[in-house]
Amino acid sequence: MNIQKLEATARQMVAPGKGILATDESSKTANKRLAMRNIPQTEDMRRAWREILFTAPGIENNSSGVILLDETIRQNTKDGIPFRELLSKRGIIPGIKVDKGLANLPNFPGEKITEGLDGLSARLEEYATLGAQFSKWRSVISIGQGLPTTPCLEANAFILAQYAARSQSAGLVPIIEPEVLIEGTHTLIQSEVTIRHALEIVFSAIAKYRIYLPGLILKTSMALPGKQSGIKSTPVEVAESTLRALTTTVPKEIAGVVFLSGGQTPQEATENLNAMANIPHPWPLTFSYSRAFQDPAMDIWMGQDANIQKAQETFAVRVSETALASEGKYK
């Protein structure tokens, strides 16, 4: 394990004014987005959409990396250039999602475990040969009556730590993503408490299995009231609540913290990040958004070549605005 290389890559991924684009949605999820807009749900349409994103003019100014899926890291542009090479030539680091998705956690109704440790080391080695320099693993945490349970949090934390160890051993910077879902009727404080509890357990496992902290990135949810709660929190309230949870649990030594948009509207995700950036915090702090970037652009594209330029312009503006927010400069 080359810790100097891991640390240098991780620092580049959380460079000021840049964020990590998340295009690692599964084919099933990507097809749902296409279907909502009556766009054919085919591999070629998914490839075409990703090419629109990856070739958008100017995104290299505010994008440090892109999280790819197994399908995407093997795809090419219509001119035959592998996406991973296209991104690297633009100064954008290719990364890869390596978990195998969610399964029900036996004996714990309503809770999930993330699968994919089997064969992970071999997959990581292959992705490294394909040009990936970082990886990502997602677990999900639900808030509800009696949820989350400590055994569920512990099980997912153990898996996150095992993944991180194998990723670093393969020379890839791990992004751990214990996502607290926004669905539910919970309050802002309940979200904050859940994030804090989850991160306490995660970083206990990270320490136990001797993960190299300067070569590790945390992708986390913001503390938010549940979508069905009817509660609306201000950006300052979200920022203060989120940072209270993080500053009491996340080691200062990690390379940085990136936020997922997690079902927020693009405007909410931008304003909440901007508020966060204006409160003192001990690590580099930036974004790793998917829906908040892709939805506005896909609404313009609608599968039509005539709309590509406008869709790319919209995407680039969203990335630029969010980059400003990551430095507290969004107006």
Catalytic residue list: 177, 219
State phi, psi for 200 to the nearest 5 degrees: -60, -45
Q: Parallel, antiparallel, or unpaired: how do β-strands 63-68 and 19-22 relate?
A: parallel
Are 287 and 19 in contact by the 8 Å Cβ rule? The answer is yes
**DSSP notation for 16-83:** TT-EEEE----HHHHHHHHHHTT----HHHHHHHHHHHHT-TTGGGTEEEEEE-HHHHT-B-TTS-BH
Question: Which residues have CB under 8 Å from 276's CB, separation 6+?
Answer: 222, 238, 239, 242, 243, 259, 285
| CB-count burial class (<10 Å; 0-12, 13-18, 19+) for 16 | exposed
**What single-letter DSSP state applies at residue 282?**
S
In the chain, count H helices and then E strands. Answer: 12, 10
Exposed, middle or buried, 253 (CB in 10 Å: 0-12/13-18/19+)?
Answer: exposed
For residues 101 and 330, give the distance between their C-alpha atoms in angstroms, rounded to a whole number. Answer: 34
User: Which of 129, 133, 101, 134 lies closest to 117, judged by CA?
Assistant: 101
Closest CA to 247 of 295, 200, 308, 293: 200
d(Cα 191, Cα 26) in Å, to the nearest integer? Answer: 26
Quick one: 116 exposed, middle or buried, by C-beta within 10 A (0-12, 13-18, 19+)? middle
